[in-house]
Amino acid sequence: MFRTQRKLNEPAIPFNQCLEYLLRPGMKWVITGKPKPSSEKFSVNFKAGPAEGDDIALRLNPRFQTRSVVRNARTNGAWRKDFEESTPFFPFEKYKSFRIEITCLADKFKIDVNGDHFANYKHRYDLHQITHLNIDGQVDIDTVEFLYTGTDPNIQEPSVTYYNPTSMFTMKLDRHLKRGTEVIVRGMGRDVFGMNFHCGPSATDNYAFRFSPEFNAQRVVRNSMIGKVWNPHAEVITSFFPFRQKESFTLRCICDNSKFV
């Protein structure tokens, strides 16, 4: 029995949705719609970000000219050579309704079309890095539905969203941090900013975790503060700086048993 369910009706194309939860077995997406009368191709993508060039864990790409459905992944900016396109049948027709069901399993994606099993696609990318569902191309989408059949109780808990909060934003958490708790921040980079998990509302309270991108130094500092003393062994990332001045970003932080991811 499904534990939770979300549904969107007639989203605009291209469709880019930040996933509410970390990808895990038991998650399922049901997409219904119609290819446009002049459609040559369209695609459904599970991506590691909202940008066009971000990596992709699964690209499902029906192509009408060749009557094939290509499945592939893009890692480190390059399409993999072990793509799959052999199909038992071609289930799409121009401007005829379809129903795609994509289920995340422990080792693969299971793909059903119009009630029939169509293909499996073995995982080729770290699912923890996937943040967005994207649908693009010559297609009209009627509904996008998310369902979950797993046992993680965090998936049942409602999410809380704040739009355009003021700088120096402080929010009291409505529940204790525990494994699976996720915080997603979307904004625009500038100079220095920090995301902090405080043990109280004051700036002098302990920090369980501080994540601080520094634009001038092109580095990200991670640290904690206990008893008003910063940990002398701060972790600094300089090999990769994913933020840009005045460009949008999506930052996702997940609480695990022994660490923040």
Over the stretch 204-223, which tens digit does the pLDDT of each residue have?
Answer: 889 999 999 999 999 999 99
Q: Is 168 left (phi over 0), alpha (psi -120 to 50) or beta?
A: left
What is the domain count for the chain?
Answer: 2
Q: Is 1's pLDDT higher than 80?
A: no
173 and 135 within one domain = no
Same structural domain for residues 54 and 138?
Answer: yes
Q: 60-74, 145-159, 236-250 — which is least confidently predicted?
A: 145-159
Regarding whether 244 and 116 lie in a shared domain, the answer is no
* pLDDT at 136 > cutoff 70: yes
CATH number of the domain that residue 52 is part of = 2.60.120.200
Task: Verify that 149 and 34 share a domain, yes or no.
Answer: yes
* Residue 259 belongs to some domain of the structure: no
For the record, the structure tokens of 12 come out as 């605009």
pTM for the predicted model, two decimal places: 0.65
Answer whether residue 260 is part of any domain. no
- Assess if residue 249 is contained within a domain: yes
Given 106, 128, 153, the domain boundary residue is: 153
Among 153, 177, 207, identify where a domain stops. Answer: 153
- Last residue in a domain, options 153, 180, 204: 153
> Is residue 100 very low, low, confident or very high in pLDDT (cuts 50, 70, 90)?
very high
Same-domain check for residues 139 and 232: no
As a dihedral over the C-alpha atoms of residue 15, residue 18, residue 24, residue 25, rounded to 10 degrees, the angle is -30
Residue 212 and residue 146 share a domain: no
Q: Is the pLDDT of residue 5 over 70?
A: no
* φ and ψ at residue 258, rounded to 5 degrees: -125, 10
47 confidence band (pLDDT: 50, 70, 90): very high
Range of the domain at 200: 160-254
Whether residues 165 and 143 fall in one domain? no
Q: Are residues 25 and 146 in the same domain?
A: yes
